[in-house]
């Protein structure tokens, strides 16, 4: 058992690197990379969307079925048959004519059923047209203009009367119907009417037809019919019902019934768990934010540097009553009588401007409503809070109206229909522009805190502790031997981050189980939301970095006048590259004294200049370019361990105001660099230094705080002295750079290498003199951590970058062969079955075919476009008999061929620079310019135009037939069936391995056994794949399962990842991938030989045997020849 260990975790969006370090010996005991699929969250979202679409279709179908059952029950139609009831309504009667006729004349029973059935099929939108308008638009769009037309016409007509009139006059009803030829005078008509209008029409039809069929159209019939016509599941209810509960809707399995499904997304207040978090737009939340920001300010000309109660009350009064634009710094300056420079402690935005809460939403609402003659300052605070909750939670106007009527109108007499309409018309005034739609506290909690926050300048966490609102000594993990990662994950809302952290905590548990304890635990969290964002950010950074380097280099070469001189100088000096970047970025001056820096001096007199850390490294922990400046050595020696503000206020260099003007004028400086240059706080102040640690060393983002605080809490409860911290990725990156450890993202090794660096950070010499990386506690706005003495840059560099152990860097640089890999195997059964694209097929026999085969029908979408012609030409040159037009209408196809003979596929075109260039063009486009679009052959010369061409593409392979039962001469299918599992058998008679692939489309579900494959289907696949009946089942392989294959004659072996059964027509072929990198590239593998790109080979070549290698979370392999006696998931 090792005495003391340090565990480093490098958590990414699709990986977790880990490293276990022996603290006393300074040796890496083990290291590895855990890899998993970060796209599963996206795939789950796609699956949820598809499931939602299926539910809508099923509900639509259910309404039609229920309508037909109702008709049968009351004698309006003959016996109901679920399989063909719809045939009763497929008689080509015009439903619009029937509905209009039904308003005034007798209909037959069949016509009446047809009319009412059609209303259920096309029942309109569920809210009023005034609530369906385009957000933010009151006049301009086709949609809003069409709704106004419909709303006006509904005052005197039913939807059927409007629709029939349009059908007779315009020849169309559904879709977008454009009226008029003059573009300026055109109007657009849309078939959008509210459900209430259809219900009203249905009642009128029933009322009229009751004169003729009183025994059928009873009051009960009308009630039941209208219930079917108007029923709609509110979007905030979700699936399930009181009798069929599910945790995905408001009817929870534990018996709870929520008012709104989105309440769970809002979250509950941790102070009062029964309370929901408040809307960020609520009056109370805005007031709380203002007070919190005001209490964090420091007014330097005040004795205690804090705003008084009277100051805060005056500021709040000004914010509540003013309808003019409010700028907080001038307002505070006016109230306190201080100078602008005396106000410190505020946040800054992306443009370096002060960011102090100012009740912005309240002020906007106040101003907008005053323009309507309404003063919201007369509204009760409770009304404003509840109103904001409704407007933040709901987006649809109809739902907002419903909630205001149901929840607020009974409690507030002044909320009448007119005010409700005004609120809906101005709901944008309440809009929260950030992603933080909900406050961290409930209204109840904030109401407890606000009086004290007005009374005295107290920080919120201190106040919560004072009031006894923070629960202490609640042992959350008392019953847990290991980390309950599922419970911890509930507080991380980003599904990608949650998955990454879950895998990381599994590793912590595995290490804890193996070694018995962990002394130091250092974690680096992912910086990006998903894998795509990570790749995009890396590419964008590298591209921007290269551009800036190139610009600086070109400018420097131009100033020197000789590129060879520059290249020689760069080969002699490592730091010259950085000096050139800074020289260019600083507009060729030393910003400390505004003196020019001549390019030639950087080469000929390098000792005249030094690279200075703008804010000393021992304070900022920032060695990035944003904290560096190129200056004269004389300036740097005087500046020493001061900030530019301190240095200049002592009378050195420029006047600070002049310096500030230079910095702000330079557009090449980014936000962070400007902040560092202009930093004016006291760096000796402990709180200031803690903020630098929070910014550049300890990661204080939300998900990082969740992980850090949970880990600290867990180990504290176990009476351990485990020290835990979460560090920022740029610190690790900086250590890599100074230790000269190259990073390649082509393989997965770098995750484990970074984890080793992370594990070693507690043992850097710097912490002996400069504080600690282990915070006591990290909150939303503060960090409790020990700080150390301020060191000069040379001493700081020596202590920070010196190896923690002799030979440590060499050890991890040569650790590739020791790194273990663990891939998460995907065994889930409810994945995507196929691509969503529906393809049609045709039976055809091409010139190369000996007999007819089923082909996929593809399409050239536009023969007149250049790309469309290229697609046409590719098929035409290969086999023109593929085109259906050539087979079914040869004379029309001959027209196309004549055009190909008469017109070229390239033309000369004059470019902007005056040069003539030959460019590709479609011959059909040239014909169109001369004669119009190509028409099909007809005797009268008026055949339809040809724009698209269908052709027989590939022979039909694996597919799902989705052809409807009532389809006539049509065949439609789904392709790209996704593989799920491959079962491996051993034929003892031949000595060879046999495999059979199972696809997701082969799986079924039943309530007793869950997902699986029916035995009959399994045997059918087994026979098709030519697996012998007496072959022995060995094991099943899923995607990313690891395998080991060995040649029994040479003992040569290789380990790879199984990917999928592929090339169905080739027996035993699979796709394999490498374990330690993304793809194969050009590689020579033992046993499988040379490959370039995808590795598609027979799974087990002749004279070879295979093992399945199960790995634990730490990457330790366990080889098995045989898994079970029979395959799993076989349904009876």
What residues act catalytically? Answer: 10, 613
CA distance 131 to 844: 53
Q: Cβ neighbours of residue 152 under 8 Å, at least 6 residues apart?
A: none
Residue 1066, helix vs strand vs coil: coil
Rg (C-alpha) for the chain, rounded Å, is 37
Question: Token pair for residue 1087?
Answer: 């046993």
Structure tokens at 924: 């059909």
Tokens, residue 142:
């086709």
**Start-end of H helices in 109-218:** 109-121, 142-153, 159-170, 195-209
365 sits in which H/E element: helix 360-370
Residue by residue, DSSP assigns 893-955 as HHHHHHHHHHS-SEEEEE-TTS-EEEEE--HHHHHHHHH-S-B---TTS-PPB---EEEEEEE
Q: Is 387 exposed, middle or buried (0-12, 13-18, 19+ CB in 10 A)?
A: buried
- Residue 468 CB partners (closer than 8 Å, separation 6+): none
List Cβ neighbours of 264 (8 Å cut-off, separation of 6 or more): 258
How many Cβ atoms from other residues are within 10 Å of residue 644's Cβ? 26
Cβ atoms of 437 and 280 within 8 Å: the answer is: yes
Q: Angle 219-230/195-209 helices, nearest 10 degrees? A: 160
Task: Give CA–CA dist 162/170, Å, rounded.
Answer: 12
Question: What CA dihedral angle connects 60, 66, 71 and 77, to 10 degrees?
Answer: 70
User: In 213-327, where does DSSP find H-type helix?
Assistant: 219-230, 263-266, 283-296, 309-321
Report yes or no: 617 and 623 within 8 Å, Cβ to Cβ.
yes
Pairing of strands 1053-1061, 1069-1073: antiparallel
Residue environment code for 948-963, b if the CB has 16+ CB neighbours within 10 A, otherwise e: ebbbbeeebeebeeee
Local structure of residue 977 (DSSP, 8 states): P
Return the residue matching tokens 């009350």.
313
Torsion sign (Cα): 330, 336, 339, 341:
negative
């Amino acid at each position: 058992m090792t005495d003391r260990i340090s565990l480093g975790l490098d958590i990414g969006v699709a990986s977790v690197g880990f490293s276990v370090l022996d603290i006393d010996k300074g040796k890496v005991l083990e290291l590895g990379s855990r890899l998993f699929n970060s796209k599963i969250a996206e795939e789950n979202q796609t699956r949820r969307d598809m499931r939602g679409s299926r539910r809508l279709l099923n509900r639509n179908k259910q309404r039609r079925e229920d309508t037909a059952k109702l008709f049968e029950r009351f004698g309006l139609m003959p016996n109901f048959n679920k399989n063909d009831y719809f045939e009763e309504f497929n008689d080509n009667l015009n439903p619009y004519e029937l509905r209009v006729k039904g308003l005034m004349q007798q209909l037959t029973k069949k016509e009446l059923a047809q009319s009412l059935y059609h209303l259920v099929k096309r029942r309109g939108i569920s809210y009023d047209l005034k609530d369906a308008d385009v957000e933010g638009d009151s006049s301009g769009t086709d949609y809003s203009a069409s709704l106004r037309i419909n709303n006006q016409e509904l005052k005197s007509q039913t939807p059927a009367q409007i629709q029939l009139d349009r059908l007779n006059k315009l020849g169309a009803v559904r879709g977008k119907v454009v009226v008029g030829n003059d573009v300026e005078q055109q109007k657009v008509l849309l078939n959008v009417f509210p459900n209430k209008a259809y219900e009203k029409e249905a009642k009128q039809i029933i009322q009229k037809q009751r004169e003729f069929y009183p025994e059928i159209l009873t009051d009960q019939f009308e009630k039941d019919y209208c219930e079917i016509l108007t029923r709609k599941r509110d979007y905030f209810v979700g699936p399930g019902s009181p009798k069929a509960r599910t945790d995905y809707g408001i009817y929870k399995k534990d018996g709870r019934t929520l008012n709104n499904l989105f309440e769970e997304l809002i979250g509950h207040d941790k102070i009062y768990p029964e309370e929901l978090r408040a809307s960020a737009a609520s009056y109370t939340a805005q007031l709380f934010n203002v007070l919190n920001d005001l209490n964090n300010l420091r007014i330097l000309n005040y004795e205690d540097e804090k705003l008084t109660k009277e100051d805060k009350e005056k500021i709040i009064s000004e914010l509540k009553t003013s309808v003019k634009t409010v700028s907080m710094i001038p307002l505070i300056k006016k109230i306190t009588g201080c100078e602008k420079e005396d106000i410190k402690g505020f946040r800054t935005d992306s443009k370096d401007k002060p960011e102090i809460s100012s009740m912005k939403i309240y002020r906007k609402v106040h101003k907008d409503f005053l323009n309507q003659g309404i003063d919201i300052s007369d509204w009760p605070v409770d009304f404003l809070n509840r109103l904001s909750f409704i407007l933040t939670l709901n987006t649809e106007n109809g739902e907002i109206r419903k909630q205001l009527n149901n929840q607020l109108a009974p409690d507030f007499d002044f909320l009448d229909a007119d005010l409700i309409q005004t609120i809906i018309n101005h709901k944008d005034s309440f809009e929260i522009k950030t992603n933080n739609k909900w406050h961290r506290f409930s209204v109840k909690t904030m109401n407890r805190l606000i009086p004290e926050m007005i009374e005295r300048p107290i920080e919120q966490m201190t106040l919560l502790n004072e009031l006894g609102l923070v629960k202490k000594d609640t042992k959350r993990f008392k019953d847990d031997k290991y980390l309950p990662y599922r419970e911890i994950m509930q507080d991380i809302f980003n599904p990608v981050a949650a998955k990454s952290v879950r895998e990381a905590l599994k590793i912590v548990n595995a290490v804890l189980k193996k070694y018995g304890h962990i002394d130091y635990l250092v974690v680096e969290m992912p910086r990006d939301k998903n894998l795509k964002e990570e790749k995009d950010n890396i590419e964008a950074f590298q591209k921007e970095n290269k551009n800036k380097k190139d610009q600086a280099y070109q400018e420097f070469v131009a100033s020197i006048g000789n590129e060879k001189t520059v290249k020689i100088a760069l080969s002699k000096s490592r730091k010259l590259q950085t000096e050139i970047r800074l020289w260019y970025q600083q507009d060729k001056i030393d910003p400390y004294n505004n003196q020019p820096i001549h390019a030639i001096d950087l080469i000929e007199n390098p000792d005249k200049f030094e690279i200075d850390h703008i804010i000393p490294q021992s304070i900022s922990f920032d060695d990035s370019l944003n904290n560096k400046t190129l200056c004269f050595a004389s300036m740097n020696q005087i500046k020493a361990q001061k900030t530019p503000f301190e240095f200049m206020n002592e009378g050195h260099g420029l006047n600070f105001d002049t310096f500030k003007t230079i910095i702000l004028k330079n557009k090449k400086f980014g936000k962070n660099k400007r902040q560092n240059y202009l930093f004016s706080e006291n760096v000796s102040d402990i709180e200031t230094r803690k903020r630098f640690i929070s910014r550049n060393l300890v990661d204080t983002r939300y998900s990082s705080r969740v992980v850090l605080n949970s880990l600290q809490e867990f180990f504290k409860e176990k009476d351990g002295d485990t020290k835990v911290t979460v560090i920022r990725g740029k610190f690790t990156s900086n250590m890599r750079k100074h230790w000269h450890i190259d990073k390649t993202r082509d393989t997965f090794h770098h995750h484990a290498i970074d984890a080793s660096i992370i594990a070693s950070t507690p043992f850097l010499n710097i912490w002996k003199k400069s504080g600690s990386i282990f915070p006591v506690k990290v909150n939303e706005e503060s960090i409790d951590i020990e700080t150390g003495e301020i060191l000069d840059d040379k001493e700081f560099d020596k202590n920070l970058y010196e190896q923690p152990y002799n030979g440590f860097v060499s050890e991890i640089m040569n650790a590739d062969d020791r790194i273990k890999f663990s891939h998460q195997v995907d065994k889930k059964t409810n994945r995507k079955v196929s691509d969503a694209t529906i393809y049609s097929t045709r039976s055809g026999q091409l010139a190369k075919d000996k007999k007819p085969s089923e082909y996929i029908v593809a399409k050239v979408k536009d023969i007149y476009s250049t790309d469309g012609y290229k697609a046409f030409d590719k098929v035409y040159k290969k086999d023109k008999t593929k085109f259906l037009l050539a087979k079914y209408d040869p004379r029309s196809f001959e027209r196309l061929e004549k055009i190909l003979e008469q017109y070229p596929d390239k033309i000369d075109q004059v470019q902007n620079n005056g040069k003539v260039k030959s460019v590709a063009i479609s011959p059909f486009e040239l014909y169109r310019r001369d004669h119009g679009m190509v028409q099909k052959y007809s005797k009268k010369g008026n055949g339809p135009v040809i724009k698209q061409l269908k052709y027989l593409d590939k022979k039909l392979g694996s597919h799902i037939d989705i052809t409807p039962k009532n389809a006539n001469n049509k065949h439609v299918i789904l392709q790209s069936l996704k593989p799920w599992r491959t079962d491996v058998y051993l034929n003892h008679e031949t000595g060879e391995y046999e495999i059979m692939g199972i696809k997701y489309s082969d799986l079924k579900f039943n309530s007793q056994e869950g997902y699986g494959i029916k035995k009959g289907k399994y045997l059918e696949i087994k026979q098709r794949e030519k697996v012998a009946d007496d072959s022995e089942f060995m094991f099943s392989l899923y995607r990313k399962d690891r395998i080991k294959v060995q040649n029994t004659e040479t003992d040569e072996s290789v380990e790879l990842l199984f990917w999928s059964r592929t090339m169905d027509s080739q027996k035993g072929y699979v796709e394999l991938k490498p374990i330690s990198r993304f793809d194969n590239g050009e590689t020579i593998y033992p046993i499988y030989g040379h490959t370039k790109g995808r590795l598609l080979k027979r799974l087990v070549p002749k004279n070879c045997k295979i093992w399945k290698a199960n790995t634990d979370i730490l990457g330790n392999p366990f080889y098995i020849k045989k898994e079970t006696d029979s395959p799993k998931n076989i349904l009876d």
